[in-house]
Amino acid sequence: MKVLIIMGSESDKPVMEESQKHLQYFGIENEMIVASAHRNPDKVRELCITAQEKGFGVIIAAAGMAAALPGVVSAYTSLPVLGVPLDGGLPGGIDALYSIVQMPAGLPVGTLAVGKAGARNAAILAARIIALSNKDIAAKVEAFKQNGYRI
């Protein structure tokens, strides 16, 4: 099972590379794609409606400011969606955090911390989800825990 990382802008890449680094530690194949809910809505839709058939089991969606991307992703898929709010608008990324966490009932987005800590935790949470059906990943998650939650 793979993880799809979608971010709203190329400038988000340095933060979301933290997700990739942690997914690689767990041995989880992943793909990172830039697709904005505002600038590329058709691309976002296509990525989401084809994700499961392409072997993705979890989607991490990261965006700043209005941060519509995680919610739009949730609207187009039944896969777990983990939202990472990014700094870029109001101080501390509070605007993105509110945009992602305040989803309407029925459209869940598991919302993580703002920035790099959230990117790391999104990958770790994705690993825990995948570990439910993959013993090798489960063993790596346990080893991560035993190592003080460090890679």
Query: Annotated binding site, which residues?
Result: 9, 12, 39
* Separation between Cα atoms, residue 9 and residue 39, nearest integer Å: 10
CB 60 within 8 A of CB 6: yes
* Separation between Cα atoms, residue 66 and residue 106, nearest integer Å: 20
- What proportions of the chain, in percent to the nearest 5, are helix, strand and coil? 50, 20, 30
Annotated binding site for substrate: 9, 12, 39
In 121-130, which positions are buried (b, 16+ CB within 10 angstroms) versus exposed (e)?
bbbbbbbbbb
